[in-house]
Structure 1
């Protein structure tokens, strides 16, 4: 096949093509530049002068602390997101409304306290909204990202107004910070005051409840302990004392008993301390001295001696009797002590029983006491905080300060000559390039086809115009009206195929039509081409080989259960699957979707036998093939046909897929007939650049347009 090797301007892509288009349409490009410059000059002259003023505000990293107590609002963290938030606050609508109110922009000129009348606007709601919107549109708040400095700028037609508004935004921001702290402090103070009242009532109720419960349950305490505990402690002390006294008396009794048994009773402490015994012993001593005096005088036969001895015996008897009474009193004391201990034990058990009964009441009383203590602690905390808030009221300080106030400028900042000139240059260049590109696209019918032929190496042997539904007619009126272009285009394709048959020495040929993608009108072309070929007297057979999306049956209006797959599988004879088109003498073999993979059917021996047999029966066999995306299906079909043609929709075709498919077919030795353009715009199809039918020789080494002889053959 002869390829068109002459490169065109449209065949070049990228910057070379764009440069060629600019040079080709340089006058249009220059006109766009001049027009853009003229528009920019007019815009610059008519643009109002605007003045730019800027106020610089710095966030203080050091905060004044007048009181040692903690403030209500924590200072601003020195972080980038916080700085970004403060910038948004300054540029917010609420801040613009503050500025609007502070400057008195909504008041008449006479009521602005001496301010210039330029600050006044209409006194109504719409005027207020428009003024606030204007403030927001012209104010700019920014930060350099390296410091805590905020730049507030405003642009206006009046330099004094621009500086005033910029300073007003900074002042409003500082006032906003002070108001925020003051409002927060007062709000917290009011809240704390309300809470203190309720907490005081709650504390009183809890304390009264605890006291009433203790009084009701008899849990009265002295010195931090209740009466039951004190009574229990006293009984324990008394019991211990009695036990000690009992041990002491028992020891003294044991000692006295031992002394009496030994006859030494006069040595007991109780005996020595007894007044009666002391008198008796004194009398005994007097009697003993009298007897001793008698014995010393040698008058042993003194009549007083017997009397004194009788008195001495009587005194000893009395002393012994007194000692026995003392021992008896010790035994009585032990008995009394034991009875006292028994009574103390009973009292102790009674107190323990009372305490065990009152244990739950004690626990509940402790719970009420803890609740009262907790309420007291909360109340004292809130009271201390309330006093701090009262002390802090009135000492709020802003966390920002104005370090540079805006001043009116003498020169306007806009319009800028350099920016207007640069904008005019860029706009003119963009418009010029766009106009040149659009101008180049207007010649796309020939250029795009040439590019497609250049890429794929395929020649175009037919152009089918774009038709609307209902414009295609069949019958005597088929060559009249808008359908004339369509039928003429199909006739050209038919002529090219017939002339290609003559190059094959009159043998019947089998042609396969495919496409680069789905929806390019392949079945549509096959249907009308087959009918056109049959109208010239040829025996034509159409086989639906697109087993993935069969549509030939629907296109010809043939619906039958006798389809291609059944014949290939051997279930039906080849004659049983032949159907006649209701509108023409075209025979059709329809297909249906199968669960069996299409490769198994298209690669079967019976399919090859079917193609070989139909080759002998018909003058021309057309196969509706799947698109190039199904490479294996197309390869199976291409090895059985004489030539393959591509149906291409310029708006849907994929040139890369088309080029790859054509290269693969040629690499395998398959004959590629060329391309049929489908959906060509009517103006392009009727242009003088429309190509005639192409004749391919068997070797594909040359292409030519048919002459009178070819036209004669086409009419046969």
Structure 2
């Protein structure tokens, strides 16, 4: 969407009005600029010199890792809120107190619990607080928002002190980070040490409880299994072994029985392995050899042979007896094995019953053991962490580093000459514009002719330039002298009136001149207009109807006791009222201030008769009326004259009063010619257009409206 950015006519008019006011009151504006410049110069000279130093600290995302263990404090997150927090920490009161103590600027107030608290006074506390406040007021900590770089600046009267404090803040921040990590590590170590003591006691109690319960319940374990299980396993093994031995013994017994029945008992393994039988068999073999030797020698009748026979039979009987004993031992072995099996089986049943009755105790013992194991695990974890903390103590590193240290500056940063000059210009411009605007508002300036005509609805048909103090020359060379501009302006007003008179077909005209307030030059315009008309061959009469403040007599230089009020009262004739201007052919009727209310004179029939009579005698009658402030007096006079014109001073008039008076006159059917601007600045008069000669004729039914004139008024 295209938007029209062209300023409105109202804003353009306001801006041009402001520029015009500044130019009109340029001396006031210049005085404001000079005054603020002087104040700024004095302030700049008296302002103490202050030096600015800056240290730069960077948050380091890299961190020294001396041990492969986790540190107590996690590294700073690389986030904007964290950076903002670190900036607040650097600029905090606690950091200022740390700098205050590190630099030895003074001693902080002693703690109430100290032994010297009775020596702490309120003055010491106040000086300490003021010193901290001064440090905080002069330090600035900032970040550019694009990096993790922190700028620490300090401003002081001494450049060395400024650099020292800035570096002290940077060092204090580094020390703060190291102290923070060291304190946290030691605090965690102390807490872990205290915790380890309690955990150790708890572990010992849990292990003792588990061992005591097992001992109480007889749940002795060896090699990871309890005693009952081991007993049960042993009994099962023993029972199996006994059963195997019993089967073996029975098999040997059956074999031995069969061998005995066949007579081959000596072939038994037990027989062969018996030492006694082996000796007997050896002796038997010797006897048999001896008998064989005797038989081979043929000595059958040898007396030794019967003896050897008896000895051989005895040996065989002994061997047989030993075999029978071995068989009997096998039977005894079977009986013993059976008894052992019965006892082992009984023991096995007892162990099974004991294990079934001890199942709950085993579960509880397992729970106690698990609790003891958990306590042992926690204790070992805390112990390992405690040893890590001990190893980490003393190797704390800061997460920031100083990349630029502050250095003393040779030139002061404050006061800033450019800033003071700029402030002086801004303040002077502001005060000047304000003073000019207030002056313009208080001067009641009306602005441009167009604005004045729009506000009042009146036509400007004459503009009179501002004249210097002194008389106005009247004569043949008045249009070529120093007052030529003035006489030309009056001639324009006269021409406008002549045009109206021509439209009235030569009939005489009575015109009343008034103003919105006193002091706008109404009498001055009437006097010089009358003289100008008289120089043009008009027969002109001037009547001073301003009975509240008569001034026509002074303007024309006439002093007489024959004034208007005496003629109205019938004390003198109308012809005696008329006086002649010493400088021209203008006739004048003067007035004098009276205690009688003006309404008694202006409302008299004789005053109406005077106007009617003078209308027949003169070509033009100019009536000097009171200002619009006295609206009743003006209304009386307006009802008797042909038209009313307003004399307006752009710097003194009130447009609202003008509009109200013009509307009031029009409502009563009175004819209003327009306005004559008096006191227009000469440069505005020369560059502006001439006033419009078109004024409203009471005899003309057409309402002739002049074109708006862009000429500027005085002070615009």
TM-score (norm 2): 0.49
TM-score (norm 1): 0.49
